[in-house]
Amino acid sequence: MKIGYFADGPWGHKAFEKIMSDDSLKIKFVMVRYDKRDAVLIELAEKNRIPVELSRNINSKEFINQVKKYEADLFVSMSFNQIFKSEMINLPRYKTINCHAGKLPFYRGRNILNWALINDEKEFGITVHYVDEGIDTGDIILQETYPITDEDNYGTLLARAYDGCADVLYRAIKMIQNNEVKPVKQQDIHPVGMYCGMRIPGDEIIDWNQTSREIFNFIRALCVPGPQASSWIDGERICINKARMVPKACAYRNTVGQVIGKTEEGFLIKTGDTILEIIEYTYNGKVKIGDRLKKSPQGGGNAL
C-alpha cells in the first residue's frame, strides 16, 4: 500500500517508524507543516530517501497535480494542521484518514488532552477516522481508550498518546489494507458530540473560586510541557506545576486564594470549597502565610 504521509511532531515520528517497519507499506512522500517545518520528520524522510513536500495550501490545483504523480493509495494525517477539502480527500483509492487523540464524537477539536484533564475524565481516547470536510467528524475506523488516574497529568497523557497514536494508526492502516474496516458513523454514537476550542495565552490563569478538585485538575492539565497554571502575588507571577488534594479537608467559607498554611513540600491555599496543597511552583520570592493569590498582576479577581 502506497501512503502519502501528512504529519508533525513526536506523534508523527513514532507513527512514521511504525509504518516504515512494515514492508507491505510504503510511504511515497512526507508532507510537513508549512509554518512549522518539523526538522526531525524531514530528517527521517531524507534518511529513508522519501521526498518531502511543502505547500501553503494543500487544496490548491498546483499541489494536487504535484501529489498525483505519487499514485498514493491512502493519505494519512497525523497532527497535520491544514483542512483537507473534497478533491484532496478523495484523491487516493482508499481516501484520507486522520488519527485524533480524542474519544470521538466527543473531544473533537484542539488541546484535547488538556481538556480531558480539566473535565476530570477517567479515560481518554485515540480515534482513527475517515476525513470528511468537517472537523474530526468522519466515520470511525478504530478507537481505543486509556485510563486516567489522579497520578496522571498532561505530561503522562502526552507520552501515552504518542505511543498510542502510532499503534492505533498502524492498526487502522492494516485494517484498510486487509479490507477489514466496518466504519461507524459518529452520529450513531451521539447525535451532537462535542467540540473543544484551542487554548490561548491567558487561559492558564487560575480561578481560585473554583473547587479544590477543579483547580487540582486545572493545574495538572497545564503542567510542563504545557504553559503551567498561573496566578499573581503582589504583582509577581507564580507558575504552579503540581498540586495535591488534601484528604478529609473541610468545606468552609473564607478568603479564596489566600495562603493559610505551610507544608514540608509547599503551602496550603483556600479554594472555593476547601483547601489545596501546592507542591511544585516557580516564584521569584518567598510565599508567606496570608499572601493572596490573584487573577491579575493588578490584584483583582478573587471574591470572598
* Secondary structure (H, E, C), the chain: CEEEEEECHHHHHHHHHHHHCCCCCEEEEEECCCCCCCHHHHHHHHHCCCCEECCCCCCCHHHHHHHHCCCCCEEEEECCCCCCCHHHHCCCCCCEEEEECCCCCCCEECCHHHHHHHCCCCEEEEEEEECCCCCCCCCEEEEEEEECCCCCCHHHHHHHHHHHHHHHHHHHHHHHHCCCCCCECHHHHCCCCCEECCCCCCCCECCCCCCHHHHHHHHHHCCCCCCCEEEEECCEEEEEEEEEECCCCCCCCCCCCEEEEECCCCEEEECCCCEEEEEEEEECCCCCCCCECECCCCCCCCCC
Q: Return the biggest CA–CA distance within the chain.
A: 68
Name the grid cell of 217: 485538575
Cβ 11 vs Cβ 163: under 8 Å: no
pLDDT for 41 equals 97
pLDDT for 163 equals 96
pLDDT for 298 equals 81
Torsion over CA of 11, 47, 37 and 142, rounded to 10 degrees? -30
- Say which residues have a Cβ less than 8 Å from residue 81's Cβ, sequence separation at least 6: 8, 33, 35, 36
pLDDT for 303 equals 47
pLDDT for 304 equals 39
pLDDT tens digits in sequence order for the chain, 304 residues long: 999 999 999 999 999 999 999 999 999 999 999 998 999 999 999 999 999 999 999 999 999 999 999 999 999 999 999 999 999 999 999 999 999 999 999 999 999 999 999 999 999 999 999 999 999 999 999 999 999 999 999 999 999 999 999 999 999 999 999 999 999 999 999 999 999 998 999 999 999 999 999 999 999 999 999 999 999 999 999 999 999 999 999 999 999 999 999 999 999 999 999 999 999 999 999 999 999 999 998 865 554 3
pLDDT for 234 equals 94
Claim: this prediction has a pTM higher than 0.85: yes
Cβ 38 vs Cβ 12: under 8 Å: yes
